[in-house]
């Protein structure tokens, strides 16, 4: 009973970690994308209304683009996984002995002795043959496939939250400090997402923060310079 509870807890934790990673990445994309658009336009004009409309358009377009892209991606992955599952079901029905040998061979490759591998394969096949093959050979769980709608919604929400940070910053700041305030607000937000992503993935927090902050800073500086260049030369 204890083993079953531990397994369920680990599975739930892995699912939570996957959603956290997706949320952090979505928020990071929202921060960098919208801030780059805002500063690019700010480099060309100081009109608050124009900057706001550009940022808002980028926020809405980016959020829906993320949602659609995630939905399509996860749907394709889910269709592929379902095709694998259907194929495995046919194999188990048509040639169960061959599939048993294949399952045992999988455990041998993972380090078990042949005798132990055969015993494991037989016991797991008797319990749930399909589940045993999916977990050992494809790392799939028929009852725990990703949900495209949930993935799309998570991406849209996290992107929107991230994109609101530079949009709000550029609105509340005065004209002389608008670019600096937005730049600083974005870098602070990226520090948070970098820290969160490293914490979720058990990676180096300092390295993750430096990576996302450097990338975001480069994106903002380049778009600001491009906006300033073309804003003064193209009429």
Give the Å distances, CA to CA, from 174 to 84, 168, 177, 220, 221. Answer: 57, 12, 5, 19, 20
Q: What whole-number percentage of the chain has pLDDT above 70?
A: 89
For 128-164, give the secondary structure using H, E and C: HHHHHHHHHHHCCCCCCCCCHHHHHHHHHHHHHHHHH
> CA-CA-CA-CA torsion for 93, 140, 155, 181, nearest 10 degrees?
-160
Instruction: Give the per-residue pLDDT at 6.
Output: 42
Calculate ∠ Cα 108-109-113, nearest 5°.
25
Does residue 201 contact residue 21 with C-beta atoms inside 8 Å? yes
Instruction: Give the per-residue pLDDT at 19.
Output: 66
Of residues 12 and 141, the one with the higher pLDDT is 141
Of residues 145 and 213, the one with the higher pLDDT is 213
Residue 235 C-alpha from the chain's centroid = 40
Give the Å distances, CA to CA, from 196 to 63, 70, 156, 208. Answer: 21, 21, 18, 9
Mean pLDDT of the chain: 84
Does residue 163 contact residue 30 with C-beta atoms inside 8 Å? yes
Please, is 46 exposed, middle or buried when counting C-beta atoms within 10 Å of its C-beta (0-12, 13-18, 19+)? middle
Q: pTM value?
A: 0.77
Instruction: Give one DSSP letter per residue of 166-233, joined into a string.
Output: HHHHHHHS-TTTHHHHHHHHHHHHHHHHHHHHHHHHT--HHHHHHHHHHHHHHHHHHHHHHHHHHHHH
* Confidence bin at 13 (pLDDT 50/70/90): very low
Res 40 pLDDT > 90: yes
Instruction: Give the per-residue pLDDT at 180.
Output: 94
* Confidence bin at 198 (pLDDT 50/70/90): confident
Give the residue among 172, 113, 165, 101 at the shortest CA–CA distance from 137: 101
Res 4 pLDDT > 50: no
Q: Over the stretch 53-75, which tens digit does the pLDDT of each residue have? A: 999 999 999 999 988 988 898 88
Structure tokens at 182: 């937005």
Structure tokens at 15: 């699912």
The size of the chain, in residues, is 235
1 DSSP 8-state letter: -
Res 14 pLDDT > 60: no
């Amino acid at each position: 009973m204890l083993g079953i509870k531990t397994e369920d807890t680990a599975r739930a934790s892995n699912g939570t970690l996957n959603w956290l990673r997706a949320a952090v990445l979505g928020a990071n994309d929202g921060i960098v994308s919208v801030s780059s658009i805002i500063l690019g336009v700010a480099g060309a004009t100081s009109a608050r209304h124009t900057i706001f409309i550009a940022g808002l358009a980028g926020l809405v377009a980016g959020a829906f683009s993320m949602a659609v892209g995630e939905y399509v991606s996860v749907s394709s992955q889910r269709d592929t996984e379902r095709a694998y599952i259907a194929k495995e079901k046919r194999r188990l029905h048509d040639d169960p002995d061959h599939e048993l040998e294949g399952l045992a061979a999988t455990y041998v490759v993972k380090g078990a002795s042949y005798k132990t591998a055969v015993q494991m394969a037989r016991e797991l096949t008797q319990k749930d043959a399909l589940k045993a093959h999916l977990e050992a050979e494809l790392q799939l769980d028929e009852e725990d496939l990703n949900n495209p709608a949930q993935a799309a919604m998570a991406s849209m929400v996290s992107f929107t939250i991230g994109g609101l940070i530079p949009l709000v910053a550029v609105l509340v700041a005065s004209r002389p400090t608008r670019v600096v305030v937005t730049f600083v607000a974005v870098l602070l937000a990226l520090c948070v997402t970098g820290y969160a992503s490293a914490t979720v993935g058990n990676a180096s927090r300092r390295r993750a923060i430096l990576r996302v902050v450097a990338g975001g800073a480069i994106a903002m500086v380049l778009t600001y310079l491009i906006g300033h260049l073309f804003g003064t030369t193209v009429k």
